[in-house]
Amino acid sequence: MNFDEQRMLMVTRQIQARGVHDRRVLDTMARIPRHLFVSESRLSSAYGDFPLPIGEGQTISQPYMVATMTESLGLSGNERVLEIGTGSGYQAAVLSELAQEVITIERVESLGNAARKRLAELGYGNVEVIVGDGTLGWPDGAPYQGVMVTAGAPSAPTPLLQQLDVGGRLVVPVGERHTQILEIHTRQEKDKYKVHRETACRFVNLIGKHGWS
């Protein structure tokens, strides 16, 4: 099976079948060449129903997790989105096709630099990759209409809640070091947030001032 066929099956069997219905998310994930975000030795598994190692002890998330987290932001195309945990750059690429602008922060310098190069080569011109502690957010770009954390946190980092626009959503896996629940925080008013808890999940740790030590 070629990559196009594998990608279509990924969308129908892994993502749509589990209840993700946002057409824009499905179409975007049916288009983006996920195999270009993994190493050559992982090419044959690029469209598998699981996360994959990307080096430095980190992973590219399972396609379904990418889809459901993206859907939960409810993007329409005009948003500025902050992602914490660039990793391979795949999630940033998905967000970049669904929002106006994406700022993504990666803690591990080698991963951040590789993702910046990859995204530029693939033509994702509306993504800025920053190397640093994403738990602090990026105040220069705030407020954000969407924030996504792609690593597991002990709690939703306060700076990220503060940098959320009124009406904006923060999606973050929260829990223990080895297992979390996906939380969606909506900033309803300046001082009023609503939290909704969804799927159980398992992410690598968010390490930083407002994450794990």
Which positions are catalytic? 61
φ and ψ at 166, to 5 degrees?
-65, 130
Which burial class, exposed, middle or buried, applies to 76 when counting CB atoms under 10 A from its CB (0-12, 13-18, 19+)? exposed
Nearer to ligand SAM, 175 or 208 (CB): 208
In the complex, the smallest distance separating the C-beta of residue 191 from ligand SAM, rounded to whole angstroms, is: 26
In total, the chain counts a number of residues equal to 213
Pairing of the two strands 144-149 and 164-175? parallel
**Contact call for residue 108 and ligand SAM (CB under 6 A):** yes
**Contact call for residue 60 and ligand SAM (CB under 6 A):** yes
- In single-letter form, the type of residue at position 213 comes to S
Q: What is d(CA 148, CA 168) in angstroms, rounded to the nearest whole number?
A: 11
Q: What is d(CA 37, CA 89) in angstroms, rounded to the nearest whole number?
A: 7
Nearer to ligand SAM, 134 or 168 (CB): 134
**Contact call for residue 107 and ligand SAM (CB under 6 A):** yes
Residue in 14, 28, 61, 180 binding ligand SAM, rule: CB under 6 A: 61
In the complex, the smallest distance separating the C-beta of residue 192 from ligand SAM, rounded to whole angstroms, is: 26
Which of the stretches 19-27, 86-94, 95-103, 168-176 binds ligand SAM when contact is defined by CB under 6 A? Answer: 86-94
Which of the stretches 8-16, 58-66, 70-78, 165-173 binds ligand SAM when contact is defined by CB under 6 A? Answer: 58-66
Residue in 116, 127, 129, 134 binding ligand SAM, rule: CB under 6 A: 134
Residue 15: closest CA among 26, 5, 4: 26
